[in-house]
Structure 1
Amino acid sequence: MNPQTYARLYGAARPAPGGRGTGVAVVAGVVWGVVVLVLHGFGLLAFVMLAGGESAGELLVRAAPAGVPAVALPAVVACTPAVRRLTVPARFLVTGLVALPVFLGLALWALASG
């Protein structure tokens, strides 16, 4: 396309924004990686408990009161207007930083009670 025609139709050409936010995305990925590892540990704990002879109903009764708020808290934080104004990598980082201590606390509670 002719540069003059482009400028007349769309205004002055603006270069694409740089790769800002890459570091935030990497940190968010690391934080969520730790959260996923903790969730994997919960699944492994559930399989060990089931293999040890405990019933699945008892496991659900013990895990549900702690699991529902642990999942709901990052979801509620992600829906707040302040977080929704952030960039996508920053949103993942904020929700990951909220989820990480919750799930680590649950993991410590599960280790202490199990």
Structure 2
Amino acid sequence: MLLLETISCRKSVIINDSDSKDVVAVLTDWAWDCYQEGKLDVFLENDSEALDDYKRLMTFVKVGLWCVQENPLVRPTMRKVIQMLEGVVEVNKPPCPFPFSVTYN
């Protein structure tokens, strides 16, 4: 979570109560959506400095998504996280971090 917060410069949960309507945004959900849709520029609010090294940015986002997996058995060890961040270990495409969550509309 810390990595995703650092990349996006946002808190893990954002509550906006303007116009007397509570709007809650969960950073992990938003990160996953932006990653899936290929819209990391939206996740970073067009931070040109971060977007200049898109390959590194993509690596960091994927590592962050691996670390917030709902199933703890799927999460990488801290040793592996460091190796992924250093580029020693390839970072594969992460699965959906919350496959066990159920949303009712």
Q: Same fold (TM over 0.5)?
A: no
Of Structure 1 and Structure 2, the greater strand share is in: 2
Of Structure 1 and Structure 2, the greater helix share is in: 1
- TM-score normalized by structure 2? 0.29
* Higher alpha-carbon Rg: 1
